[in-house]
Structures are given as C-alpha cells and as structure tokens.
Chain A
C-alpha cells in the first residue's frame, strides 16, 4: 500500500472536514505512474467527503505523477508551487482544487536556502 492509498483511505474515514464546510463539488485525481492510470474521486458536499475510485467528469481534475502524489501526501511538496511549475496540472475549478489542497499534510521544514543580500523591501 502506497502512502497515496493510505492518504485516501484516511480521507475516506474522515467523512467530514470543517475546513471544507463551505465547499461543494467534485475533484478527480488522476495519478499517472508506471502501472498506468490510477484515479480517485472526492465528492464534497459542504464539508462531507465521499471518496471513491470512480472516473467520470468532475468540477476539478488534478493530474500528477506517482512520485508527485507521494510527495504531496507525505508533506514533501507545496501544491501551489507545483501547479505553478507544471508538475501538478489542474483542469476545471482551480479554487476548488486549492481548497482540497488544505487537506494535505503540511510540509516538513525545508533545508537551507541561499540567503539573499538583504531582507528585501517586502
């Protein structure tokens, strides 16, 4: 069982999430790996979550590789940055996909980064 499988199992067991209390819609997650396409679907009805393996049209479709999915569900990646650099693709309602992104675990603290010459004006 991959971390991705475990994550969706946990989501399925959650049933309701208050962070999505105002959110309704459907999100399909297409994960493309060596073993082909694996799909999950999350139907959200004002915070109530139903997780399935159904395909079919959804309000937002998130496409990524198996490796990226693993990084997301283990807190190894910033989703918005990944969308921005083309590593995660979102079709349909981006706002809905970003709301769902709140359910992914926070990132682990990143390593050292190059220090800039000044603190920046902002």
Chain B
C-alpha cells in the first residue's frame, strides 16, 4: 500500500469516495482511491476531460463530509494562463454517488466542448488493495446500453455491479461516457450523473436494500449534520485550535457513522478511512468511551450490535469462543469466500473486557439501567470468556495466541502489527503473550461489573466474587509486571512468564484502568513524560532507545492521538494533572497541523527537531478514535466525571488556553455546563 497525498474524501459510513484534488480517480492496485462500499471498490477510474484535457483544481470545498465541490480549469498547473472554459464538479455520497458537472463559457465566442468521463471498475476487495493482489478469481463484465453503463463482477453467487446513468443525452461506451456540448458565450451546461452500487443476490434482490430503504432523504443530510453538531455540547474557548479540532471531530464522527446490515438502520462508528471502514470491536468501544460526554447516542447501538454478534461457538478460523466480543466484521469478497476470516473475526484480547467497561461507563453517564439489564447475559458471558478462554498460560492473565495461523492476527492487542511487542533489545517474545494494558482492562472490567452486579443485577455473590478476583489480579499484576529497577511495567509477559522489558506507551493505559498503586503512579508518569517517550506532541508508542524504536514505525515509535487521550485521562485519574495537561496541549496543538483532523498516528520525531508533527505515510484519516481524542482530552482538561447524579468538574488548564467552557453536557442530570480558566498562579510541575 502507498500513501496518496492531496486526496479528497466524501464519506457516508462504509460508503466513501477518495479522489485527487480535481475529483479524478486513477487507481493502481495498491492505492486506496476510488468509490467504495461494503469493502469493495466499485469505481477504480473516474477521470474528467474537456476536449481531451485533464482538469486542474483551483479550489476544493469539502467542508461537509458527504459532499465536495471542485472548481476546475482545463490543463495542467504549469500551463494555466487564462481559461475561457471552466467547470464545477460537485459530488455527494449517500448510499450511492451523485455527481454533477457544470461547464461555463466566459469567453467571447461559442465553444464546442467534448466532455468525457473515463470509467473503470475493478471490484477490488479492500484487502486486495492493502496486500496489492491484482488477480481476481471471478469475471468482470461490461454492459453498454443506450442510456446506461453497467460494470459488474461475478464469482459464483457473488455479484457486485455499478450502473451509471446521466440526466442528459450521452454516448456510453465500455470505458467512457461522452457529452457533446456547445456553449454560447456567457452560458453554462450541466449534467448530473448517478452511480448506483449493487450487491446482487442471485434472485435480483440488492443486499443493501434494507439499509438503503431506512436511509433518510439525502436532501436532509446538511440539516441532519447541523442537528448532530447542535446536539453535542457547545464549546466556548479562546483557543482557535481547540475550536477547530472540536468541530472537525464532531463532523468526522458523523461521517463515520454507518448502519450495519443487521442493525435495522441504527448507526455505529466505523473505525476509519480508508482501510477500516467497518465495525471493529476495540475501535468502536474506545470511540464510544471517548465520546460519551458529547455524543452518547453512539454507545447503545454499538453495545447492542457487539452483543448480538458475541461469540457463541468455538471456531478456530474466526477465533470465536463463547462470550468473546468481535474484532472485525467485513462484507467484501475475501470475507464472503472466507479467504479472510472476517465473518466476523474474533481475534482480539481486549474488546471483551472493554465491552464491560463501556457498559458501566455508559450507565454512569446516562443512568440507563435498562440497557445494563438488557445486556446482562452478554456482560456475564464476556466475564466468563475472560475467566475460561483467555487465560492461555494458566497464570491468571488475559493472553493471546492465534489459532488461525494463516490469516489470524499475531498480536491481538491494540498494537496489532507483528513487531509491536518486543523486548528492549528487540527480541520478540513467544506466545501466548499477555500484554500489560489488557490486564488493566480486565481489572477495570471486573471492578465495574461488580458495581453493576451489586446495584443493577442485584447479584451480590457475583459482585463479591468479581471484587475478590479484581483484588487478586491487582496484586498478581503488580508483582509480575512491575520492573522495580526500571520503574515501569513490562509491556507484556512472555509465554514462560518472563517480563518483556521495553518502555512503551502501554503503561499509560494502566493509569486509565486504575491498576497502578498510587505510590507507583508518579514513577510511571515520569517515564511517560521523559524525553524517551514524550516527543513534545505526545507519548510515543515505543520509547527512544529501545532496539526497535523507529519514529515512523506503526506501533514502534509513532504517536497515536487516541493512545494519548487515554493516557492523559489516566494521569488525571491519579491527580497527575500537569502531565495530563502537557499531553492534552501537545495533541491539540498537533491537530492544528492537520486542519483539526488528527490522523490515526504521526511520526515520533522530537518536536524541537521537526517543529511540526510529521505525517505517518499510511495513516488513516479520519479515524474514529482519533476524532474521539480531542473529546476525551477536553474531558481531561475539564476533569469531567459523573458523580452520583451530578456532573463533577475539576478543571485544570495549561497556559495555552485561557478559558474553556463546555455548555450543555448531556447525562443523567439532563444538561449541565462546565467551565475552566487558566490559573497563572498554579505553575505546572516539571517531569
């Protein structure tokens, strides 16, 4: 896969189009550009020419996530002098693609303009693009009609098709759509094209017909986006950067909402563009956690769909066990033919405890005990999975070792690339592996489930047992993972119980989970804020000085905004306010370099060296949990937490911000405001 700079995306859940700045799509096998839905590329070429000249964008308006407008002139950038003919290309994505092209003649003489759209569809599965696989097993076909071009792909009963029509007379051929236009001086001409994407069953029913029918009229999309933003709390701050990041986050979270086929129209967050436009257990749970004080409506459908797809059987390809919460659900060809195990894939060690954590956190904010009762069987099954299926070494820890050795994930923690977990000297530990943050999540899940059991499920025995197990885990973990001579926690235990000694960001999540004894928290924070881990923008995934450190390593040195948001929130939990503020400040300032849209990850280079956060080449953007990061950081700055039936706020602002006010924070209290003002008489501690 390769990076595609300067792309423009329009998104509607798992339907999206990524083009260059002139609106054109010219894909190669490895580039994630094109028109996509259900993990399949329906347009791989979509190139506009006027009189055989390619177009150049003078400006692009993509301020709405679902639409874009490209203001174009013919010719390349270098030879543009003055254009009599210009064009506006407007596109809107909903269940399908609608694109209008308007040509203007501002010259003094009539013009004949050959308007041409080159079209191709390779029906590549997103995984074929990711792994650069060019061969298709099935057959591509083209059907040209007088008023329509159909491009399709068939493999046995699997059938995908795109049909392109225009509202003006056109000439359709196998690879282009042509319009012959004559423009008098001062006039314009427009055409609207529609590209409908179908996932045909053999009986001619579209698999997407259900969600399509439940969609609201595309015409009200702008209004529904306004309503989505208006329903979220209002942010009032002197920081233009924070305002921009907040607004962008809310819009991107709206963009990433998608309606899974089996959920009757309810929407959940897709993980991110372009590779992860689908349901991920971990990503959706953590995104919901980050956004609870802002957009709580995302959480109930997410918990419900994960509950409905919770593992029920034992399957070594899907790595399914009873009670396990899924990792990833896909609809593409590779999933359909089980070349990838995503129907759904369960290879994650942490989604199951995080399901319990989110259920409790949601109730703390919302007071919605009905949902806690509704999902009691699934929460109990999740706890049972943790006890019965996840302790692969017998040492009392959540651990993982893939059973699907062909296509399963080696690392089933959030850092899921193959080299993410290593010793300081670079050696890779064996399997089963038990990563530290997973134990934190397990501890937190038990503590929280004990509260739910006691207060809502009215099962004191279960509550007692969970509290006892949590206390035992706390003690065991702090004995086995703590590296006294280093002053940090091992990132993992090797299969034989040896602590994996590298210094990583994972230790920050332990603060979030509360598994760190108070007397150790400051030492953990000291390492998190040390030059080895803290880049000046945020905490690196792996510390400088560790053998595998690389500032552009996916999980071995980059800075992940979502990771930092949980670390900052964890630091606040332990009263380490100044460290929390420094992280919040760094990540929010980084957002300014990405026009408010924090990417999945950025380079771990030292801030004093580069002065700007360096783009990570294949980082996804927008990414749900990166969009959620500014929201959790806002919660961190304001110190927001539900306290019984009230909203507690213990604000702490770094010097960058003079004031931050969050108005109408929703919760069991109705809506309440929170205010923070910087206190110059309260200088930050130093680490």
A residues with a Cβ closer than 8 A to B are 18-19, 21-22, 78, 80-81, 83-87, 89, 91, 93-95, 98-99, 102, 105-107, 109-110, 112-122
Q: How far is A109 from B318 in the complex, measured between Cα atoms in Å? A: 10
The reply to whether A85 and B157 form a contact with Cβ atoms under 8 Å apart is yes
Are B318 and A22 interface neighbours, CB within 8 A?
no
Residues of chain A lying within 8 A (CB to CB) of residue B406: 112-115
Q: Is the CB of A78 within 8 A of B377?
A: no
Chain A contacts for B261, CB-based, 8 A = 94
Choice from A21, A98, A105, A118 contacting B377 with Cβ under 8 Å: A21
Nearest CB on B from A104, distance (A)? 8
Q: Which of A19, A89, A109, A122 contacts B275 (CB 8 A)?
A: A122
Q: Does B465 count as interface, using CB distance less than 8 angstroms?
A: no
Docked CA distance A102–B156 (Å): 26
Total interface residues on B, using CB and 8 Å? Answer: 54
- Check if A85 sits within 8 Å of B158, measured CB to CB: yes
Q: Are B343 and A119 in contact, with the CB atoms below 8 A?
A: no
- Interface residue B416 (Cβ < 8 Å from any Cβ of A): yes
CB pair B331–A114 under 8 Å, yes or no, is no
Q: Which residue, of A116, A117, A120, has the highest number of chain B Cβ atoms within 10 A?
A: A120
Q: Is B210 an interface residue (CB 8 A)?
A: yes
Judged by a CB distance under 8 angstroms, whether B263 is at the interface is: yes
Assess the B409–A85 pair: CB atoms within 8 A.
no
**C-alpha spacing A87/B202, complex, angstroms:** 8
How would residues 79 to 91 of chain B score, 1 for a CB under 8 Å from any chain A CB and 0 otherwise?
0000000000000
Shortest B411–chain A CB gap in Å is 7
* A110 x B338 contact (CB < 8 A): yes
Q: Which residues of A contact B411 (CB under 8 A)?
A: 119
Please, how many angstroms separate the alpha-carbon atoms of A18 and B381 in the complex? 12
A122→B314 contact, CB < 8 A: no
Tell me if B205 counts as interface (CB < 8 A to partner A).
yes
B625 to chain A, nearest CB (A): 12
Q: Within the complex, what minimum Cβ distance (angstroms) separates A71 from chain B?
A: 12
Question: With contacts A80-B343, A114-B339 known, is A119 near B280, CB below 8 A?
Answer: no
Which residue of chain A is the closest to B600 with respect to CB atoms? A121
Taking a contact as CB atoms closer than 8 A, the residue among A87, A94, A102, A112 that contacts B210 in the complex is A94
- Is B337 on the interface with A (CB-CB < 8 A)? yes
Most buried by B among A80, A105, A112, A118: A80
In the bound assembly, the distance between CA atoms of A105 and B409 in angstroms comes to 24
Give 25 pairs: A residue, B residue, CB < 8 Å, sorted on A. A18-B377, A78-B318, A78-B338, A80-B343, A84-B158, A84-B207, A84-B331, A85-B336, A86-B157, A86-B207, A89-B205, A91-B205, A95-B264, A98-B309, A106-B313, A109-B316, A109-B317, A112-B406, A114-B339, A114-B406, A115-B406, A118-B131, A119-B409, A119-B418, A122-B328
Residue B655 CB within 8 A of the other chain: no
Assess whether A121 is in contact with B416, with CB atoms less than 8 Å apart.
Answer: yes
